[in-house]
Structures are given as structure tokens and as C-alpha cells.
Amino acid sequence: MLMKKMPARIESLHELLAFIRNEAKKRGFSEKHLQRIELVAEEALVNVFVHGYTHKEGEVEVACLGSDEPAITIEIRDQGISFDPLSLADPDMQSDLADRKIGGMGVFLIRKMADRVDYRREGDSNIFSMTFLNR
């Protein structure tokens, strides 16, 4: 298992995404898959950056599991406020332009593009995991 820990700030995004992309690439994912993995990882990470630590600095830890499988599981761990992204309702897809809202779109894309997602709270940590199958 490979792990990377960085400050939970937007400035960490590109380095964390490059790490995740590289791990997925090692597992043989196609370019099309890599783009989706990167997108889903960005949405999950930005959630942590924006909502995780509202009044203090914190860290985020990314682990890539499943190196022996044709799959990758990305675990994102933070010690911010307890928050389950999967508890958010889907955005309203039917409303017209004037009423259309962006809230919840990130989580919606995560749900649509990852093969499996899971949230759990362990002690003082949020652990959000996303699995992609290579097929």
C-alpha cells in the first residue's frame, strides 16, 4: 500500500492527483479510466479541503490499495468534522437553467463514476473510499 499525506489545502490537489493517477496507471487502467479516477478523486479531495477543517489547519491522507488486483481502491482520510458525503441528496437534474444549482454535483459525479464508494467514521477520522474496477 502506498500512502501520501499533505496539508488539506487546494494547493495540494495537483500533487495528490498525480500520485493517484500514477498508482492507477501502474495497475493498467486505460487513459479513459484514468481521467475518471482523477475527476472522482478531485471531487472527494476538494470536499475535504472545503468542508473538512473549517476553523483550523489539517491534513489529508491518501492511500491506494489493491496493488495485486485489476482494481484500485483510493482511501481518503481526514481528521476534520464528521461528515458523510454520501448523505447528500442528488442535485435536481430536471430544473431549468434559472433554478439549477451546483450543490451536490461533486458527490453526484463520484457516485456515477466510481464502481463502489464507502464512508466510515473511525475515532476522529473520516474515511472515504472509492473503488474502480479495471474492465
Beta bridge partners of 62: 4, 76
Task: Decide: is 42 part of the binding site for other proteins (CB under 8 A).
Answer: yes
Closest approach, Cβ 42 to other proteins, in A, equals: 5
Of 38 and 61, CB closest to other proteins: 38
Task: Decide: is 112 part of the binding site for other proteins (CB under 8 A).
Answer: yes
Of 47 and 129, CB closest to other proteins: 47
Question: How many residues of this chain bind other proteins (CB under 8 A)?
Answer: 24
Unique residue bearing C-alpha cell 471531487: 43
Q: Where on the chain is the footprint of other proteins (CB under 8 A)?
A: 10-11, 13-14, 32, 35-36, 38-39, 42-43, 46, 49, 93, 97-98, 100, 102, 105-106, 108-109, 112-113
